[in-house]
Amino acid sequence: MTTTALSAISPEDAWMDYDEAMDLFDVVIGLEVHVELNTASKMFCSCPTDFGAEPNTQTCPVCLGLPGSLPVVNGKAVESAIRIGLALNCSISPHCRFARKNYFYPDMTKNFQTSQYDEPICFDGEVEVEADGERFTIPVERAHMEEDAGKSLHVGGATGRIQGAEYSLMDYNRAGVPLVEIVTKPVLGTGAKAPQVARAYVAFLRDMMRALGVSDVRMEQGSLRCDANVSLMPKGSTTLGTRTETKNVNSLRSIERALRYEISRQAGILAAGGRVKQETRHWHEDGGRTSSGRSKEQAEDYRYFPEPDLVPVAPDPAWVERLRETIPESPVARVARLTEAWGFTELEMRDVIGADALDLIEATVEAGCSPQAARKWWMGELARRANAADLPLAEAGMTPAQVAELQGLVEAGTLNDKLARQVIDGVIAGEGDPAQVVAHRGLAVVSDTGALQAAVERAIAANPGAVASIKAGRQAAAGAIIGAVMKEMRGQADAATVRELVLAAVG
Ligand SMILES: [Zn+2]
């Protein structure tokens, strides 16, 4: 923890340094991840699911829960749920039902959410993730289908929360959008790496969902949402401690930070002889801390019962087997395969993954670039520009095909590194592909020896002092003449060639 994060801790929070907490306690984490499916229509009606539409333009009697309306299960959503389960190595239930989860809240006008309760479609899976060079197995309890709720917008308060708001607006476009909720079993044995393991697991889910093509998995838009449970037990104990659930942590980095914070907070309370309250907590990205939310000391009774308006889901085993063949390679296996194929070190690969450059480099290599050159551009020049503009690397302004083309021009001798950077400027500015920018800006390296020779002669005539030094044996003095030539050629000459010409002319 940095000192800034420490200063943000509210005085009522006890606190223990993370490393000290690791000496005294074992960490148990549990992750609940909601994945919004990218089906064209909603879970139980034919309303569209496009993100960002005008509020309440994508609704109908079914997703508004009007009396007498009848839901119909979206077959594509069931297919996606099964494929997700298979990718998590789950068993697929041959027969399962939906259930009503009864609660009253304005974001769900039916007064119940159609979900699955004791009969999830996918159960008992496990996945392997890699965190900080070490592999961990995450046991998956279940993955079930349900529908999303609407969105409330609380207006007039300082925080955007309902407390202090003057009024609230409701948008039901999201109500009924299909979700798959993936729940882990308690994850033990991750030691001090618990926050990194949690992050790696959610990154695994994001990459896997993307590879399956079942979700946009955009955490910032809420199509992948993570609730992180954590509890501590004294070293050597086997009794699970009281857990807290930190809600809607919406970036990979936040997951790691929020868990670290909660571990230090809980350890401080326990070490001072206090009791951790069972509650939901909210993560504050800006302050780097969590704050108390709803108490969960009394379990809510949702009065679940099987949904009478929907027939059970009974996927044909032959269909499930066909779907199994569509499951992509796991991210851990893919990373191992690419590390070897590209000849990267593990450290290089870890940096690539950390920078979210794996897909980009793979696509660049597929477009004909060498792996090392693809890594150089994405992790160097383009990462720098993306950081400066505060954009994800994929939105830095160049496509993998353009990077491969740029490298092709460098290898053909048309561009040196300096000119290549100017070409990147042009591509990002929207001037077209690299070859078009070279033509348009006149950036190619000058290979016309006649023009170079003339420039060299002019530079020699203008720098008699440097010439005298070279003749006296101080070849370093050639730098001034080379610099003058490069300047005249506006950087578009090959420096090594210029050096040869200068030394030949003087000598
Ligand atoms: Zn609808």
| pLDDT for residue 442 | 83
The pLDDT of 313-327, averaged and rounded, is 97
Between helix 358-366 and helix 346-354 the angle, nearest 10°, is: 110
The β-bridge relationship of strands 112-115 and 151-155 is unpaired
Q: Which residues fall within 8 angstroms of residue 335, CB to CB, at 6 or more apart? A: 130, 349, 353, 358
* Domain boundary pick from 404, 433, 462: 433
- For residue 411, tell me if it sits in a domain: yes
d(CA 47, ligand 1 centre) in Å: 4
pLDDT at 1: 40
Instruction: Kindly write down the DSSP assignment for every residue of 246-310, as one continuous string.
Output: EEEE-SHHHHHHHHHHHHHHHHHHHHTT-----EEEEEETTTTEEEEEEE-SSPP----EE-TTS
Tokens 């020779």 belong to 453
Q: Which residues pair with 289 in a beta bridge?
A: 284
The pLDDT score that the predictor gives to residue 451 is: 81
Taking the C-alpha atoms of residue 449 and residue 23, their distance in angstroms, rounded to an integer, is 69
125-150 tens-digit pLDDT: 999 998 888 999 999 999 999 999 99
470 and 423, same domain (yes or no): no
Q: How far is the CA of 178 from the centre of ligand 1 (A)?
A: 11
Domains in the chain, number: 3
Query: pLDDT band for position 371 (50/70/90)?
Result: very high
Per-residue H/E/C for 334-370: HHHHHHHHHCCCHHHHHHHHHCCCHHHHHHHHHCCCC
User: Is 429 inside a domain boundary?
Assistant: yes
- Cα(266) to centroid of ligand 1, in Å? 43
Judge if 386 and 466 occupy the same domain.
no
How close is the Cα of 98 to the center of ligand 1, in Å? 18
Is 440 inside any structural domain?
no
- For residue 166, the CA-to-ligand 1 centroid distance in Å is 29
Residue 451 CA to ligand 1 center (angstroms) comes to 71
- Statement: residue 432 has pLDDT above 70: yes
Q: For position 3, what pLDDT does the model report?
A: 41
Q: Is pLDDT larger for residue 458 or for residue 323?
A: 323
Strand 178-184 and strand 224-234: pairing?
unpaired
- Say what the pLDDT of residue 352 is: 95
Beta bridge partners of 233: 26
* pTM reported for the whole predicted model: 0.75
Q: Are 61 and 72 in contact (CB under 8 A)?
A: no
Average pLDDT of the chain, as a whole number:
91
How far is it, in rounded angstroms, from Cα 299 to Cα 317? Answer: 37
What pLDDT does residue 12 have?
Answer: 52
The verdict on residue 147 lying in a domain is yes
The first and second tokens of residue 282, run together, are 């909210």
Whether the pLDDT of residue 2 is over 70: the answer is no
Percent of the chain scoring above 90 in pLDDT: 69
> Distance, CA 51 to ligand 1 centroid (Å)?
15
Q: What's 219-244 look like in SS3?
A: HHHCCEEEEEEEEEEECCCCCCCCCE
Q: CA distances (Å), 353 to each of 200, 206, 331, 370, 437, in order?
A: 11, 13, 11, 18, 30
Query: Which residue has better confidence, 90 or 332?
Result: 90
pLDDT at 480 over 90: no
Instruction: Tell me how far the alpha carbon of residue 117 lies from the centroid of ligand 1, in angstroms.
Output: 23
Q: Does residue 363 belong to any structural domain of this protein?
A: yes
Domain that holds residue 39: 3-323
Ligand 1 centroid to 110 CA: how many Å? 12
Q: Give pLDDT, residue 202.
A: 96
Q: What is the CA radius of gyration of the chain?
A: 30
Say how many C-beta atoms besides its own lie within 10 A of residue 495's C-beta. Answer: 15
Q: Is residue 444 part of a domain?
A: no
Q: CB–CB of 167/152 below 8 Å? A: no
For 5-24, write each residue's pLDDT tens digit. 444 444 456 889 999 999 99
d(CA 191, CA 195): 9
| Tally of CB atoms within 10 A around 290 | 23
How many angstroms separate the alpha carbon of residue 416 from the centre of ligand 1? 57
Calculate how far, in angstroms, residue 421's C-alpha sits from the geometric centre of ligand 1. Answer: 50
Calculate how far, in angstroms, residue 210's C-alpha sits from the geometric centre of ligand 1.
Answer: 26
Q: How many angstroms is it from 44 CA to the middle of ligand 1?
A: 7
Give the domain-ending residue among 323, 353, 388.
323
**Gap from CA of 70 to ligand 1 centroid (Å):** 10
Whole-number Å distance, alpha carbon 46 to ligand 1 midpoint, is 6
- 230 C-alpha to center of ligand 1: Å? 36
28 Cα to the center of ligand 1, angstroms: 40
- Domain final residue pick, 291, 323, 355: 323
Same domain, 257 and 125: yes
Question: How confident is the model at residue 4, as a pLDDT?
Answer: 42
Ligand 1 centre to CA of 452 (Å) is 71
CA of 45 to the centre of ligand 1 (A): 5
Q: Is 502 or 297 the better-scoring residue by pLDDT?
A: 502
CA 173 to ligand 1 centroid distance, Å:
8
State whether 193 and 59 are in the same domain: yes
**Same domain flag for 342 and 316:** no
Distance from the alpha carbon of residue 216 to the mean position of ligand 1, in angstroms: 21
- Determine the distance separating the centroid of ligand 1 and the alpha carbon of 96, expressed in angstroms: 23
Same domain, 182 and 210: yes
Tell me, in angstroms, the distance from the centre of ligand 1 to residue 174's CA.
Answer: 9
CATH number of domain containing 462: 1.10.10
How remote is the CA of residue 73 from the centroid of ligand 1, in Å? 12
pLDDT at 287 over 60: yes
For residue 306, the CA-to-ligand 1 centroid distance in Å is 21
Q: Give distance in angstroms: CA of 213 to centre of ligand 1.
A: 23
In a domain? residue 443? no
| Span from the CA of 67 to the centroid of ligand 1 (angstroms) | 13
Question: Is residue 317 domain-shared with residue 349, that is, in the same domain?
Answer: no
Q: What are the tens digits of pLDDT across the range 107-122?
A: 999 999 999 999 999 9
Interval between CA 209 and ligand 1 midpoint (Å) = 25
CB within 8 Å of 243: residues ≥ 6 apart:
28, 30, 229, 230, 231, 276, 278
Ligand 1 centre from 116 Cα, in Å?
19
Whether residue 165 is found in the same domain as residue 302: yes
- Whether residues 142 and 12 fall in one domain: yes
pLDDT at 443: 81
Helix axes 331-342, 346-354, angle to 10 degrees: 130
Ligand 1 centre distance from Cα of residue 308 (Å): 19
197 and 244 together in one domain: yes
Which SS3 state, helix, strand or coil, does residue 186 take?
coil
> Closest Cα partner for 264 from 30, 9, 31, 11?
9
What's the 72 CA to ligand 1 centre distance in angstroms?
A: 11
> What is the Å distance from ligand 1's center to 245 Cα?
31
Question: Around 225, how many Cα atoms within 13 Å sit in the side-chain half-sphere?
Answer: 14
Residue type present at position 246:
T
Q: How does strand 178-184 pair with strand 25-36? A: antiparallel
**How does residue 43 score in pLDDT terms, banded at 50, 70 and 90?**
very high
Q: Are residues 44 and 143 in the same domain?
A: yes
The reply to whether 399 and 489 lie within a common domain is: no
Residue 63 alpha carbon to ligand 1 centre in Å: 4
H and E: helices and strands count for the chain = 18, 14
Q: How far is the CA of 59 from the centre of ligand 1 (A)?
A: 4
Taking the centre of ligand 1 as the mean of its atom positions, its distance from the CA of residue 468, in whole angstroms, is 86
* pLDDT tens digit sequence for 161-192: 888 899 999 999 999 999 999 999 999 999 99
Is residue 269 in a domain? yes
pLDDT at 5: 46
User: Are 32 and 182 spatial neighbours (Cβ–Cβ below 8 Å)?
Assistant: yes
